Structure 1
Amino acid sequence: MSKDQRKLSILISHAVYTNLEVNTVLRSTPHSETCTADESVLYRIEKRNTLKRRAGEETKTVPQIYMEECSSASTSLETAGQFPTYKKVKAAMYRSRAKRFPPLPATRQQLEIPAQWRVTKSGRQFLMYNNVHNSVLIFCTDENIRELAGHTVWCMDGTFKIVPEWYHQMFSIHVFKEGKLIPLVYCLTVRRDLPTYHEIFDNLILKAAALGVVLQPQTVICDFETALIPAVQASFPGVQIQGCYFHFCQAVLRKVAELGLRTRYLHETETKKKIKMLMATAFLPLPEVPAAVDLLGRNVTGLIAALFDYFRREWMTPNRLPLWNVYNVQTRTNNHLEGWHLKMNRQAGKHHLSFYELLQLLIDEQGSTETLIQQVTSGRVTANDLRIKNNKYEEVQLRITALTAEYDGGTRTMEQFLKAVAYDVPEPINF
């Protein structure tokens, strides 16, 4: 047998010859038995080829394609048992998909993105900026810059799971368009430091000036990242930074676990209530927060006292306190953005995509953004069409608004207010 063939022994009296990819039958020997063995091999080859072809042609994730074909195989239960397992075809499917993309150089610094990968599906320039080392890449169209300039509330966040190995994070900037959060700027960065964020914002501001528009957000909702906040404040003087309340709560709850209070939080009602009331102080008027923390911290001892010491050091400083205070704030969290990250992770189908796999994902997402903007511009789509109603969130919002009115009106004491709001404080994630 030649070296480009492999012999599969099916029965002693019969053999099938295929190529090394096991996707083509080159020759089979005759036999006097039934042809069942032949048919099972041909079935597996056919399904393997279908999976590889779809992986190479479609934009759906590899796991999604496999699950669709696996489900379809059940239409014939006689052959379904021969359907190849995901473990057997996964590598071949990803190899087939990789052939769609340009080859990558050995290092990030050598990366040169081909012209066809620098534009959106509508032909607009998408790669806005890349520095000489490719340590910062900004993907944003001129139209996205103009859209960004028309909004005063921006949401910012970074994600890490789907980012190529060459980069540390994908940082993105979003706005609400008729109540729907849409991404307008995507940045791949090697670091998460002050110079990196300055480089991003400086280039966005320069691009806006070249287009004759001004970027001037009034409110930026973001995580409590050490480098990001001062970069935003320096680049956009007078901007109000609104820290994400959900992230604030998770940070405090991580400290609860770190101090060894996890078991008490989960099983002691009074301990849990005290900690949740502490986080509920965010809903008080800013000048009243210190008095509330002092009220809750009276007579605490041991690990609870240590938690209050941490809270005062970490969150009660003059610069820090306004970031997590959400008194009369309507949009308190970046949860819409977290939902977007989850969607992108699902579409990616795996961690750490290759560079061009991620770029394809961003080009696809930009296409959806452009379509949505055109729908709104045409007048055919309104806020009611785009808004996904979250009954639970709306109930919480109405409840907190009512409680705040009672507190401000003097019909509810500070302690009563904190006890009531504590029921709406987020629970820990990965506790």
Structure 2
Amino acid sequence: MTSNSSSKSFNKLTTKGRRIIQHEQFEFIFKRHNIFYDTYKCRSFHKEKCPAFINVFKNGRIDKGAEHNHDSPSMDNAVVEEAINKMKNGIILSSTTTSSVIRDVIFEMPLEEMSRLPSEESLKQTLRRHFNKYYKKNSSGMPEDLVEHMLYDSGMSEENRVLIFGHKEMGAALESSDIWMAEGIYTATPTPFYQLYVLHFVKNGAAHAAVFGLLTGKTVEMYTKFLQVTKEKFNISNRSRVVLVNFESAAINAFQAVFPESRLLGCFFHFKQAIIKSLQRYALKTKYEKDPQFRKNIKLFFALSMLPLDDVKKGYEAVSKEIAGQVACKRFVKYFHETFMSGGLFPPSFWNHRQSVLEGIPKATNFIEGWHNGLTYSFGLRKRPLFQFLVTLHKEMEYTRTKFHNPSPPSNKKKLILAKKLKKMIQAYDPQTSNTMFFLKAVTYVV
């Protein structure tokens, strides 16, 4: 049977790469080619065991073969195809699960079209196949939009590969800033990398991410390379700055080597975390959680960071006497002395924040905790291929740059109030006349 009605090409392919055309409200999939025509079989060949096929000649003529054994779709299958294509894009660009991607797309579909979708298990298999095929093809590539922002790549053959990215505009702002913050993100980093190390700068009361480094470890050499590349690519001057970092010797040594004029300060939040973590080592964590008086005494160690440097030793000796009753407590006091006092791994000059509070400098890198949480959510909880990770990273870089130009004022009023109270307490403290223990106890209520 010959038909003069034209076929409608969707300009699309099946998941296996076969062409699809529409003819008389039915869809046909390419089957084979010869010198005279192309043969297409009904798309419901497997589902309905439909024998229908058409031959499409070069001059546009269409010959119909056997008839369909099922009714034509009530609506154009393009709606269903569009939904499946949205799912495919979603599984590539997002960090969510296949189930979440499917639900997000189905939620937007008309009710009458939902029943025409394949089963959920079939959709999951399609998305997994598409995901694996896409990232196998792009496993060693770099998103085109991100190439211009790549500052350094040690190369795929390098055992300890380092990738560093940054926007020139953000690099210029980093150079002009007097306050930096550095912290690593360890969730969802792609193999073989261990962390995403991010260098922030503070402008107008807000922190902005400027340089992103994918590192395979936490060594002095890797941090040094990260900082050297940043310094060279953005022409960072070697002048006095405040840099907030975690209690990580390798990062501290790298900053001291590359930016010797900078004043390094240990993050107050991580200072507290290190103390609390040590309690678990000495079987004191439960006591800290259940004994209010013991918890208050431990917080006195936090408050030492707000004393004048010359008074820290006197304050430490007074605070130590408060918990010196048990053997485990004596071990904790010894740990604190060997780790945080003069001659220790991190001396008081590194974790003392009295001057920071007076100068209005953030005392903790959790100043950027909200940004880190948002970035972690964007990457997802499970590891993704490098290419997809970099696609998400590029989006985050552009979003950060946009926020830099459209800053929003700090919204945590409670923190602002506590910060003002703390500043007043510090200003009122007189080393000659003030009671050190009374001051420390008062500080524990605002830190």
Give yes or no for the alignment of 1:28 onto 2:48: yes
CA gap 1:357/1:250 in 2 versus in 1, 3 angstroms: same
Structure whose CA Rg is larger: 2
Preserved contact between residue 106 and residue 114 of structure 2 (Cα < 8 Å): no
CA gap 1:78/1:45 in 2 versus in 1, 3 angstroms: closer
Query: 1:198-236 CA deviation, whole Å, 9 max, x = no partner?
Result: 212222222234xxx625451111111110001101111
TM-score (normalizing by structure 2): 0.73
Give yes or no for the alignment of 1:279 onto 2:279: no
Preserved contact between residue 301 and residue 316 of structure 2 (Cα < 8 Å): yes
Give distance in 2, aligned partners of 1:187 and 1:368.
Answer: 17
Give yes or no for the alignment of 1:176 onto 2:166: no
Residue type at the aligned position of 2:378: Q
The partner residue of 2:87 within 43, 52, 65 is 52
The partner residue of 1:130 within 133, 153, 169 is 153
| Secondary structure of the corresponding residue to residue 417 of structure 2 | helix
CA shift for structure 1 position 61: 3.8
Give distance in 1, aligned partners of 2:262 and 2:175.
Answer: 14
Give distance in 2, aligned partners of 1:101 and 1:178.
Answer: 41
| Secondary structure of the corresponding residue to residue 62 of structure 1 | coil
TM-score (normalizing by structure 1): 0.75
Q: Residues 13-412 of structure 1: matches in 2 within 5 Å?
A: 25-26=44-45, 27-28=47-48, 49=84, 52-55=87-90, 59-63=93-97, 65-69=101-105, 71-72=107-108, 76=111, 89-90=123-124, 92-97=126-131, 103=137, 111=140, 113-114=141-142, 116=144, 118-119=146-147, 125-132=148-155, 133-134=157-158, 135-209=161-235, 214=237, 216=239, 218-298=241-321, 299-318=324-343, 320-329=347-356, 330-373=361-404, 375=405, 381=406, 385-408=407-430
Paired residue total: 373
Residue type at the aligned position of 1:149: E
CA shift for structure 1 position 412: 5.3
Gaps of 5+ in 2: 1-15, 17-28, 30-42, 51-69
Query: 1:96-116 CA deviation, whole Å, 9 max, x = no partner?
Result: 3555557356xxxxx5x4582
CA gap 1:68/1:237 in 2 versus in 1, 3 angstroms: same
Gaps of 5+ in 1: 5-17, 19-23, 106-110, 120-124, 376-380, 426-431
CA gap 1:195/1:410 in 2 versus in 1, 3 angstroms: same
Give distance in 2, aligned partners of 1:225 and 1:92.
Answer: 45
Residue type at the aligned position of 1:314: T
The partner residue of 2:441 within 408, 419, 427 is 419
CA shift for structure 1 position 410: 7.3
Give distance in 1, aligned partners of 2:131 and 2:410.
Answer: 34
CA shift for structure 1 position 345: 1.3
Preserved contact between residue 52 and residue 96 of structure 1 (Cα < 8 Å): no
Give distance in 1, aligned partners of 2:112 and 2:350.
Answer: 59
Give distance in 2, aligned partners of 1:263 and 1:233.
Answer: 38
Residue 9 of structure 1: aligned partner: none
CA gap 1:177/1:99 in 2 versus in 1, 3 angstroms: farther
| Secondary structure of the corresponding residue to residue 386 of structure 1 | coil
CA gap 1:184/1:98 in 2 versus in 1, 3 angstroms: farther
Preserved contact between residue 305 and residue 353 of structure 2 (Cα < 8 Å): yes
CA shift for structure 1 position 417: 1.6
Residue type at the aligned position of 1:406: A
Preserved contact between residue 149 and residue 216 of structure 1 (Cα < 8 Å): no
| Secondary structure of the corresponding residue to residue 28 of structure 1 | coil
Residue type at the aligned position of 1:157: E
Give distance in 2, aligned partners of 1:397 and 1:411.
Answer: 24
Give distance in 2, aligned partners of 1:78 and 1:146.
Answer: 52
Among all aligned residue pairs of Structure 1 and Structure 2, give the percentage whose two residues are the same amino acid: 22
Give distance in 2, aligned partners of 1:192 and 1:49.
Answer: 42
Preserved contact between residue 265 and residue 271 of structure 1 (Cα < 8 Å): yes
Give distance in 1, aligned partners of 2:123 and 2:268.
Answer: 44
